[in-house]
Structures are given as C-alpha cells and as structure tokens.
C-alpha cells in the first residue's frame, strides 16, 4: 500500500506543491533522505504575497514611464535579473521566447483586455503580476500548470521593488 501511494505521488509531482507532497510521502513510507528533502524544500517558493506600487514608483505620466522603462528594458533582457525575454517578446528585443504572450503593443492591446476575473487591468495589477502574479489567480485556475509559469520576482528576491517598478514601466512603454 505504501509503495502504491509512493508511485501515485511520483506521477502527480508536476508542480512544486506535488514535489512537497512527494517528499512528505517518502517520509511517511519510511524512505527519508534528509539531504534530498532539504534540496526539494529549497525549490518551494514562499507563499504568494500582495504588493502595492510603492510611492516612489511614479508610473503616472509618460515622461516618468519613459525614464524608468530604459532601466526596465535592461532588466527584461538580462539573464541574471528578470530574464523576461526568455518567455516574452517586446519591441526592440532580440532572441525572444514564445512561452508567454508578446508584450509588443501591450499598453494598447493586452492591457485593455480584462484580467482572469473579467476586471479591467490597472497599473497596480501589472505591478503585482510582475512582482508575484500567483496572488491574482482565481481559485479555479490554481491547479492549471500553465498559469504557474510566470516567475515570482519580488517575493523570492529575484528583483527589488525598484526593479519591478522599472519592468512595469517598460511593459507600459510597449504601445
């Protein structure tokens, strides 16, 4: 019975939640590797967090957005930082990926489309999407792997609040 449970859990281990369940099942089955368990637990991201656009992040006028967008474009294309270009395309970028939507023309296109819940998108929504988009997922999409592809930037410390601001500006500059 323990082996059957172990095999079923192995098949289901496609998300980080399943990976954690797999580690716990191994422990229940009496198969424990402290080193392996600690490695797996390092890959489990912190709980989703809600963020607000910081007051020092001025995304209210075109000139501020333009200045911030210049820095955001560098982050967008830098592997060690956002590496957004690995999944997204944007105006002027090279070597874009096709996992996420193209952000070329974002402000006049996708930004005007409703969010997952049918609500209008806002600058706050976009900032949150880049910082930690998991918080925006409706309950019915939480277990759909496709919606978990977007990386968690601010909650994991991959980016700072200023860098998320700059990336938000860059995406908003995509008219």
Q: Is residue 32 located within the same domain as residue 74?
A: no
pLDDT number for residue 132:
94
Which tens digit of pLDDT belongs to each residue from 30-76?
555 667 777 777 777 788 999 999 999 999 999 999 999 999 999 99
Q: Is residue 38 located within the same domain as residue 97?
A: no
Residue 100, pLDDT above cutoff 50: yes
**137-168 residues labelled b (16+ CB within 10 A) or e (exposed):** beeeeeeeeebbebbbbbbeeebebebbbbbb
- The CATH number linked to 129 is 1.10.760.10
Which tops the pLDDT comparison, 97 or 6? 97
The answer to the question of residue 24 being in a domain is yes
State which residues form the domain around 33.
2-42
Q: What is the mean pLDDT of residues 113-117?
A: 91
Q: Is residue 112 located within the same domain as residue 34?
A: no
The answer to the question of residue 49 being in a domain is no
The answer to the question of residue 21 being in a domain is yes
Which tens digit of pLDDT belongs to each residue from 136-175?
888 888 888 777 678 889 999 999 999 999 999 999 999 9
- Distance (Å, rounded) from C-alpha 21 to C-alpha 65? 43
Q: Is residue 7 located within the same domain as residue 89?
A: no
The answer to the question of residue 140 being in a domain is yes
What angle is formed at CA 42 by the lines to CA 79 and CA 7, rounded to 5 degrees? Answer: 110
Q: Is residue 68 located within the same domain as residue 16?
A: no
The answer to the question of residue 89 being in a domain is yes
Q: Is residue 36 located within the same domain as residue 72?
A: no
Quick one: what percent of the chain has pLDDT higher than 90?
53
The answer to the question of residue 48 being in a domain is no
Q: Please state, in angstroms and as integers, the Cα–Cα distance from residue 56 to each residue in 52, 82, 113, 134, 163, following that order.
A: 11, 20, 27, 24, 12
Q: Is residue 90 located within the same domain as residue 20?
A: no
Which tops the pLDDT comparison, 5 or 6? 5
Q: How many domains does the chain divide into?
A: 2
The answer to the question of residue 146 being in a domain is yes
Nearest to 116 by CA among 97, 89, 134, 103: 134
pTM: 0.75
Q: Is residue 19 located within the same domain as residue 95?
A: no
């Amino acid at each position: 019975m323990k082996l059957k449970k172990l095999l079923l859990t192995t098949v289901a281990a496609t998300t980080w939640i399943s990976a954690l369940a797999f580690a716990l099942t191994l422990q229940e089955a009496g198969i424990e590797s402290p080193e392996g368990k600690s490695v797996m637990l390092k890959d489990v991201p912190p709980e989703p967090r809600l963020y607000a656009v910081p007051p020092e992040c001025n995304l209210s006028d075109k000139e501020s957005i333009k200045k911030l967008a210049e820095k955001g474009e560098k982050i967008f294309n830098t592997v060690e930082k956002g590496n957004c270009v690995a999944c997204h395309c944007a105006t002027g970028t090279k070597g874009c990926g096709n996992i996420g939507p193209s952000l070329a023309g974002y402000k006049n296109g996708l930004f005007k489309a409703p969010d997952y819940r049918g609500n209008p998108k806002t600058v706050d929504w976009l900032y949150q999407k880049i910082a930690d988009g998991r918080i925006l997922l409706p309950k019915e999409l939480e277990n759909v792997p496709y919606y978990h592809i977007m990386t968690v930037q601010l909650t994991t410390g991959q980016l700072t609040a200023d860098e998320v601001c700059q990336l938000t500006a860059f995406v908003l500059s995509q008219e």
